[in-house]
């Protein structure tokens, strides 16, 4: 069965939208991380899709880079979240407003 490329792209757009919506509406740092991962992976999906339709390996190679960066980012981010949680027993990002102008 041959799935058309547009399906993948629609799926990626839906995933990206869900991620973006979640990022904007949720306050828990952990959930926001998950949303960011969702958005990153949505983008990854578009890369892979285009790599296939255009027969260009560059797209797939980029996906690896994105995954590596995402993994590194999660490590740092989770470290920060754990540190914050230790100090105030909450991961609500709205409470972290010390840098407000």
Binding site for other proteins (CB under 8 A): 20, 23-25, 27, 32, 93-94, 96-101
Phi and psi at 98, nearest 5°, equal -60, -25
Comparing CB distances to other proteins, the nearer of 60 and 73 is: 73
Smallest distance from other proteins to CB 92, Å: 10
Smallest distance from other proteins to CB 79, Å: 17
Comparing CB distances to other proteins, the nearer of 4 and 101 is: 101
Smallest distance from other proteins to CB 22, Å: 10
Whole-number Å distance between alpha carbons of 47 and 4: 15
List the structure tokens of 99. 């840098």
Comparing CB distances to other proteins, the nearer of 30 and 61 is: 30
Phi and psi at 63, nearest 5°, equal -55, -40
Q: Provide the β-strand partners of residue 28.
A: 92
Whole-number Å distance between alpha carbons of 16 and 37: 10
């Amino acid at each position: 069965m041959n799935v058309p490329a547009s399906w993948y792209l629609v799926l990626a757009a839906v995933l990206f939208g869900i991620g973006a919506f979640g990022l904007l509406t949720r306050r828990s740092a952990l959930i926001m991380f998950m949303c960011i991962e969702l958005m990153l992976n949505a983008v990854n999906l578009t890369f892979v899709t285009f790599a296939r339709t255009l027969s260009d390996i560059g797209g797939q190679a980029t996906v690896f880079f994105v995954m590596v960066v995402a993994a590194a980012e999660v490590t740092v981010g989770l470290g920060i979240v754990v540190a914050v949680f230790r100090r105030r027993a909450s991961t609500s990002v709205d409470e972290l407003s010390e840098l407000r102008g």
